């Protein structure tokens, strides 16, 4: 019966979004798309120190956005929900269009000043 209040939902919604609000975390999530990866592999792939990646993974874990699974000495991380990647892709498209429009505007301005 623990119904969640409207503002609590908004808070949780914002926390999930905040999980995406860091370039490294976005890169980590995309690294996990092809399949599970362990921490050192991610760190190596992104050229970032392992503790930094571990901390970012903790942020994502706390928000239920990735799943950690121990396999012996290593820990495999997975994206918890494919819709997280879908949302990232949507926002990436928004960004791509914005950059495209800016480039077009710049070209227009350039040709206007020729």
Partner DNA sequence: ATGTTACATTCGTCTATTCGCATATGTCAC
Partner DNA sequence: GTGACATATGCGAATAGACGAATGTAACAT
Q: Which residues form the interface with DNA (CB under 7 A)? A: 18, 21-22, 24-25, 38-41, 48-52, 54-59, 68, 70, 72-75
24: number of Cβ within 10 Å: 15
Nearest distance from C-beta of residue 43 to a second copy, angstroms: 16
Separation CA 7–CA 12 (nearest Å): 9
- Non-local (6+) Cβ contacts of 64 within 8 A are 80
Quick one: which segment of 33-41, 51-59, 70-78, 91-99 binds a second copy (CB under 8 A)?
Answer: 91-99
Beta strand pairing call for 66-71 and 74-79: antiparallel
44 touching a second copy, by CB under 8 A: no
CB of 11 or CB of 50, closer to a second copy = 11
Nearest distance from C-beta of residue 97 to a second copy, angstroms: 7
Separation CA 97–CA 101 (nearest Å): 6
């Amino acid at each position: 019966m623990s119904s969640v209040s409207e503002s609590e939902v908004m808070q949780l919604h914002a926390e999930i979004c905040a999980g995406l609000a860091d370039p490294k975390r976005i890169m980590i999530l995309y690294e996990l798309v092809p399949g599970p990866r362990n921490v050192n592999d991610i760190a190596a792939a992104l050229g970032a120190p392992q503790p930094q990646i571990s901390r970012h993974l903790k942020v994502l874990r706390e928000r239920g956005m990735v799943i950690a699974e121990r396999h012996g000495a290593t820990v495999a991380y997975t994206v918890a929900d494919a819709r997280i990647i879908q949302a990232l892709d949507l926002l990436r498209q928004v960004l791509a269009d914005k950059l495209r429009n800016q480039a077009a505007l710049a070209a227009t301005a350039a040709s206007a000043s020729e």
